[in-house]
């Protein structure tokens, strides 16, 4: 009897590759494939696994867990989601309502028992690799945090030319902009893997390795893993790989999000992530002819010409005065 699609889902499992040194140290988790069409993180992790297997890499201290494919259904379909975005509403559920909720119930305790998370992604539009970090140290209600210096140091060493902050603030602002209730249940839909590890007392960085099909993106992922291991004193750097970038990365802060409101909303041109714009510059046009312009001097982030109506069309970012050592 032929297997049904449900059978394939029911038998899914997530491969966890765990390494533990006899010397105490940090507990690092590296994940790829949270979104099924983002394969560079998987490739980078598999390269590291091959180095362990060949004896080219040894864990000097601490614990390392590698997850090449965090979302098997989305990967099997080679699309962003299985049934919904795994990197939203990332919290355990007593009664998981969909495939990604079941995955979350498996991954959440794995994340919780680690101290550091490196989550490897890529993006749809053209653009260069960048890292995303969480909030500055604070005791607020949205995302209280006390490890900004460590998180900033990790982002500093990954080697990307740009680091971006301000995700959850902008997510909450986007809810308010749409007239939605900005309560805990609504904010939960903006919480992903890194927000989850922060809520458990750890810290994490999202690395966007480049455009989905960029042949250099797997190299970006591999270098980031090896640099993270070196930064944490868990493994030596391979020959020829510098500990970080020659120049400090440019730091940007997300300032606003603009939704696509209609299927006929169109960009003025093919934007790439981090394309600069000047105040008043035309970014796109609504279906009724209304122009959408840049609110200030800054840059475009995550432009998505394929966005569905009432979802995020693009983000706008400005330079940030923050320092990656955690100081304001």
What SS3 state is found at 229?
helix
pLDDT computed for residue 4 by the predictor: 43
Query: Cβ neighbours of residue 234 under 8 Å, at least 6 residues apart?
Result: 21, 25, 26, 28, 59, 60, 61, 62, 64
Neighbouring C-beta atoms of residue 224, cutoff 10 Å: 26
Phi, psi of 76 (to 5 degrees): -60, -35
- pLDDT above 90: percentage of residues in the chain: 81
Map out the domains of the chain as residue ranges.
8-251, 258-319
pLDDT computed for residue 327 by the predictor: 56
Query: Between 319 and 178, whose confidence is greater?
Result: 319
pLDDT computed for residue 5 by the predictor: 46
CA–CA distance, 121 with 218 (Å, rounded to integer)? 10
Q: Taking residues 231-242, report their average pLDDT.
A: 96
Q: Which helix (H) or strand (E) holds 228?
A: helix 217-231
3 pLDDT above the threshold of 70:
no
Model confidence pLDDT, tens digit, residues 279-302:
999 999 999 999 999 999 999 998
Per the confidence metrics, is the pTM higher than 0.75? yes
- Structure confidence at residue 328 as a pLDDT band (50, 70, 90): low
Model confidence pLDDT, tens digit, residues 31-48:
999 999 999 999 999 999
Q: Taking residues 170-180, report their average pLDDT.
A: 82
Query: Between 11 and 93, whose confidence is greater?
Result: 93
CATH architecture of 8-251: 3-Layer(aba) Sandwich (3.40)
Query: Between 216 and 324, whose confidence is greater?
Result: 216
Q: Taking residues 48-72, report their average pLDDT.
A: 98
Under CATH, which number does the domain 258-319 receive? 2.40.50.630
Is residue 130 within 8 Å of 99, Cβ to Cβ?
no
Q: Taking residues 65-90, report their average pLDDT.
A: 96
6 pLDDT above the threshold of 80:
no
């Amino acid at each position: 009897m032929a297997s049904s699609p449900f059978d394939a889902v029911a038998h899914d499992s997530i491969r966890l590759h765990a390494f533990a040194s006899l010397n105490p140290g940090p507990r690092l988790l590296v994940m790829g494939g949270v979104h099924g069409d983002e394969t560079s993180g998987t490739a980078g992790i598999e390269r590291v696994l091959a180095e362990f297997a060949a004896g080219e890499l040894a864990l000097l201290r601490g614990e390392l867990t590698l997850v090449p494919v965090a979302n098997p259904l989305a990967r099997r379909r080679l699309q962003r989601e299985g049934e919904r975005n795994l990197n939203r509403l990332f919290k355990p559920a007593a009664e998981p309502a969909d495939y990604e909720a079941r995955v979350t119930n498996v991954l959440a305790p794995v994340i919780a028992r680690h101290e550091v998370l490196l989550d490897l992604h890529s993006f749809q539009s053209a653009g260069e690799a960048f890292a995303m970090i969480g909030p500055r140290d604070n005791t607020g209600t949205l995302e209280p945090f006390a490890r900004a210096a460590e998180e900033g140091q990790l982002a500093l060493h990954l080697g990307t030319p740009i680091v971006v902050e301000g995700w959850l603030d902008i997510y909450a602002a986007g809810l308010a902009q749409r007239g939605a209730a900005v309560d805990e249940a609504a904010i939960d839909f903006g919480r992903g893997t890194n927000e989850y590890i922060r809520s458990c007392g750890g810290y994490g960085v999202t690395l966007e390795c480049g455009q989905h099909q960029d042949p250099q993106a797997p190299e970006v992922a591999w270098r980031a893993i090896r640099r993270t291991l070196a930064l944490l004193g868990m493994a030596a750097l391979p020959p020829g790989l510098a500990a970080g970038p020659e120049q400090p990365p440019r730091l940007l802060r997300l300032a606003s999000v603009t939704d696509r409101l209609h299927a006929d909303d169109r960009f003025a041109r093919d934007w790439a992530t981090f394309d600069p714009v000047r105040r008043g510059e035309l970014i796109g046009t609504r279906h009724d002819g209304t122009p959408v312009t840049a609110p200030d001097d800054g840059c475009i982030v995550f432009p998505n010409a394929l966005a569905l109506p009432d979802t995020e069309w693009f983000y706008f970012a400005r330079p940030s005065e923050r320092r990656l050592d955690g100081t304001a």
